Amino acid sequence: MVTGRTIVAPSLLGCDHGELASAAADLERSGADWIHLDVMDGVFVPVLTFGAGVAESICSSVSIPVDAHLMVDRPAALVEAFAAAGCRYITIHPESSEKHIHRVLGKIRDLGCLAGLALNPATPPDIVQWVAPLLDLVLIMTVNPGYGGQKHISAMNGKIRTVQRMLEEAGRGDVLISVDGGVNSSNAGTLVNAGATVLVSGSYITSSSDRAQAIKSLKV
Ligand code: DX5
Ligand code: ZN
């Protein structure tokens, strides 16, 4: 249901990577609710972005929550550093080489952060029911991870609804459902109606000449 309470989380992926901290501060002034950090290790996805040191600079430059989306092959080795960097949410992928996703989600919470699970487009949502007690956020990828500016996969609307139902059945209707990939003002309403509560958006916001207006247009 469209409520006007959608959390808008701009991704910094398309910003100048030499000035990410000031880009994040600028997005906060433009009305962002969270900052979304796309952490890529060159293994889980072909691209390499940045590590916890850069994340720390970004976290220090804003007062809104920072969500670290770890597109990395071995998330367990990194969660401690991203927690120490000041990230509020740490989101990991079950398609990574990590064999003990349940344990790592618990570790994220033990570090005082909120735990997120990200699902690639081809990943069945069933895992959600088995880790629901440990979740604070489910991130549904609506592109294949690795690059900004890709075409949104609208077939994921069904997965959003399925995840919402699974969370409610598990008594965890409070878990945030985030959508990431090709999100813009044309599909925001449909995504929120399907059950999304957080909209991650990269190129639509950062390539806009009026970022404040672009962010506002997503608060459906
Ligand atoms: C893709 C990243 C996304 C990406 C979104 O791998 O996880 O966060 O930056 O960018 P757009 O909105 O351009 O698809
Ligand atoms: Zn992302």
State pLDDT tens for residues 111-168. 999 999 999 999 999 999 999 999 999 999 999 999 999 999 999 999 999 999 999 9
For ligand 1, the distance from its centroid to the CA atom of residue 108, given in whole angstroms, is: 23
- Is 94's C-beta closer than 6 angstroms to any atom of ligand 1? no
Let me know if residue 134 belongs to a domain.
yes
Let me know if residue 2 belongs to a domain.
no
- Is 34's C-beta closer than 6 angstroms to any atom of ligand 1? no
Could you list the residue range(s) of the whole structural domain that residue 12 is in? 7-218
**CATH number of the domain to which 118 belongs:** 3.20.20.70
Mutate to test the pocket of ligand 1, among 139, 180, 187 (most ligand atoms within 8 A of CB): 180
* Atom number in ligand 1 closest to CA 201: 12
Residue 183 CB contacts under 8 Å (≥ 6 apart), including other chains: 142, 152, 191, 199, 200, 201, 204, 218
Question: Residue 203: nearest ligand to its CA?
Answer: 1
pLDDT recorded at residue 128: 98
Let me know if residue 120 belongs to a domain.
yes
- Find out whether 35 and 61 touch, Cβ atoms under 8 Å: no
For ligand 1, the distance from its centroid to the CA atom of residue 150, given in whole angstroms, is: 8
Let me know if residue 1 belongs to a domain.
no
The full length of the chain comes to 220
For ligand 1, the distance from its centroid to the CA atom of residue 149, given in whole angstroms, is: 7
pLDDT recorded at residue 1: 62
pLDDT recorded at residue 78: 98
Question: Residue 15: nearest ligand to its CA?
Answer: 1
Q: How many structural domains does the chain have?
A: 1
**Marked catalytic residue, from 38, 41, 67, 136:** 38
- Is 24's C-beta closer than 6 angstroms to any atom of ligand 1? no
Let me know if residue 80 belongs to a domain.
yes
Question: Residue 11: nearest ligand to its CA?
Answer: 1
Let me know if residue 47 belongs to a domain.
yes
Along the 220 residues of the chain, how does pLDDT read in single tens digits?
A: 666 789 999 999 999 999 999 999 999 999 999 999 999 999 999 999 999 999 999 999 999 999 999 999 999 999 999 999 999 999 999 999 999 999 999 999 999 999 999 999 999 999 999 999 999 999 999 999 999 999 999 999 999 999 999 999 999 999 999 999 999 999 999 999 999 999 999 999 999 999 999 999 999 9
pLDDT recorded at residue 4: 72
- Find out whether 156 and 187 touch, Cβ atoms under 8 Å: no
- Annotation marks residue 180 as catalytic: yes
pLDDT recorded at residue 179: 98
Name the nearest CA neighbour of 136 among 157, 160, 106, 156: 106
For ligand 1, the distance from its centroid to the CA atom of residue 100, given in whole angstroms, is: 26
Let me know if residue 173 belongs to a domain.
yes
* Residues 95-101: contacts with CB under 8 Å, at least 24 apart: 95/44, 95/120, 95/123, 96/44, 96/72, 97/73, 98/73, 98/74, 100/76, 101/127, 101/131
Let me know if residue 64 belongs to a domain.
yes
